[in-house]
Amino acid sequence: MRRFIIKARHKSLQRKPTHQCDDHPPMFTGFLRYEELRDALQTLVKITQRIHFSQLLKLISSSSSSIKPRSIACLTQFIDASGIIRVGGRLCRSSAPEDFKYPVLMPKSSALMLLLIRYYHITCMHAGPQLVASLLSSQFWIVSGRSVIRHIIFKCVTCTRHQASTVKTLMSIEILF
């Protein structure tokens, strides 16, 4: 989608007589690059935060101290250079990566969070809630994250089928003896 937008802007700029080629971002073709995926995730995070934390954004921008709810108020939240709300402060002196020191604040009930939890669960061979939570925590701080991760993983059809077949086998053994 971003490639399409950049290409469309590029074409519209080319039609203008005062156009200079250095003004716009580069147009990529072929496989998606790391920078493109990173920019796309940043854009989605910004949109999600604008939808779910619109009040919080205003309060942080006005440096107000009346931030609610308490689960968010106790975090040291701030807006970074790209306009994303981040939390942290405890690990500010460590040599860990910036994403780990200051994770991105995310709501528990968003389509993006649902997709990210499913992505980590499936790519890590249907990992359990603890592993998915630790993988996500390297980048994101989810409000009441553990419960939502557990809820989504327990809905996984593949995991349920495997658990169901295990239970069936055990029951049949018990019946035989």
24: left (phi over 0), alpha (psi -120 to 50) or beta: beta
Does residue number 9 form part of the binding site for Zn ion (CB under 5 A)? Answer: no
Q: Angle CA(97)–CA(136)–CA(162) in degrees, nearest 5?
A: 145
Q: How far is CA 66 from CA 1, 50, 52, 58, 63, in A?
A: 39, 19, 17, 11, 9
Does residue number 126 form part of the binding site for Zn ion (CB under 5 A)? Answer: yes
When the beta carbons of 9 and 150 are compared against Zn ion, the nearer one is 150
Alpha-carbon distance 44 to 50, whole Å? 10
- Minimum CB separation of residue 102 from Zn ion in Å reads 30
When the beta carbons of 79 and 159 are compared against Zn ion, the nearer one is 159
Q: Which residue is nearest to Zn ion (CB)?
A: 156
Least Cα distance to 136 among 22, 123, 33 occurs for 123
**Amino acid letter at 26?**
P
When the beta carbons of 41 and 159 are compared against Zn ion, the nearer one is 159
When the beta carbons of 2 and 126 are compared against Zn ion, the nearer one is 126
Does residue number 60 form part of the binding site for Zn ion (CB under 5 A)? Answer: no
Interface size with Zn ion, residues (CB under 5 A): 4
Alpha-carbon distance 130 to 136, whole Å? 10
- Minimum CB separation of residue 114 from Zn ion in Å reads 14
Does residue number 101 form part of the binding site for Zn ion (CB under 5 A)? Answer: no
When the beta carbons of 125 and 176 are compared against Zn ion, the nearer one is 125
Q: Which stretch binds Zn ion (CB under 5 A): 63-71, 95-103, 124-132, 162-170?
A: 124-132
Q: Which stretch binds Zn ion (CB under 5 A): 2-10, 49-57, 62-70, 148-156?
A: 148-156
Q: H helices of the chain, where?
A: 2-14, 34-52, 54-61, 70-73, 98-101, 111-123, 129-137, 145-153, 157-176
- The single residue among 138, 158, 163, 169 that binds Zn ion, judged by CB under 5 A, is 158
Q: Residue numbers of the site for Zn ion (CB under 5 A)?
A: 126, 156, 158-159
